[in-house]
Amino acid sequence: QETPEKYRPQFHFSPKANWMNDPNGMVYHNGTYHLFFQYYPEDKVWGPMHWGHATSKDMLHWKEQPIALYPDSLGYIFSGSAVVDVNNTSGFGKDDKAPLVAIFTHHNPVIEKQKTGLHEYQSIAYSLDDGKSWTKYSGNPVLPNPGITDFRDPKVSWYEPQKKWIMTLAAKDRIAFYSSPDLKKWSKESEFGADAGAHGGVWECPDLLPLTHDGKQVWVLIVNINPGGPNKGSAGQYFLGDFDGKTFTAHSKETKWLDWGADNYAAVTFSNTGNRTLLMGWMSNWQYANQVPTDPWRSANTISRELGLKTVGSELYLTSVPAKELDAIEMEGYTKKNLSVKAPVDLAPKGGNASGLFRLDLKTATADDFELVLSNKAGNELLIGYDKAANQYYIDRSRSGKTDFEKGFGQKHTAPRFSKDSKIALTLVADVASVELFADGGLTVMTDIFFADTPLSGLGIKSAKGIKVEELQYNALKPSIE
Catalytic residues: 22
Q: Which is nearer to ligand FRU, 231 or 427 (CB)?
A: 231
Measured in degrees and rounded to the nearest 5, phi and psi for residue 342 equal -145, -80
CB atoms within 10 A of CB 364: 24
d(CA 326, CA 305): 10
CB 240 within 8 A of CB 174: no
**Among 228, 223, 227, residue whose Cα is nearest residue 240:** 223
d(CA 76, CA 132): 19
Q: Which is nearer to ligand FRU, 169 or 437 (CB)?
A: 169
Q: Which is nearer to ligand FRU, 152 or 174 (CB)?
A: 152
| β-pair partners for 82 | 102
d(CA 193, CA 173): 7
- Which residue type, as a one-letter code, is found at position 184? K
Least distance CB 367 / ligand FRU (angstroms): 36
Least distance CB 186 / ligand FRU (angstroms): 18
Q: Which is nearer to ligand FRU, 61 or 152 (CB)?
A: 152
CB 374 within 8 A of CB 435: yes
d(CA 178, CA 337): 53
Least distance CB 293 / ligand FRU (angstroms): 20
What does DSSP assign to residue 271? B
Burial of 314 (0-12, 13-18, 19+ CB in 10 A): exposed
CB 16 within 8 A of CB 481: no
Least distance CB 22 / ligand FRU (angstroms): 5
Chain contacts with ligand FRU (rule: CB under 6 A): 21-22, 38, 49, 78-79, 105, 152-153, 204-205, 266
CB 88 within 8 A of CB 57: no
Least distance CB 283 / ligand FRU (angstroms): 12
Helix, strand, or coil (residue 109): helix
Least distance CB 297 / ligand FRU (angstroms): 16
Q: Which is nearer to ligand FRU, 10 or 299 (CB)?
A: 299
Q: Which is nearer to ligand FRU, 19 or 177 (CB)?
A: 19
Helix, strand, or coil (residue 442): helix
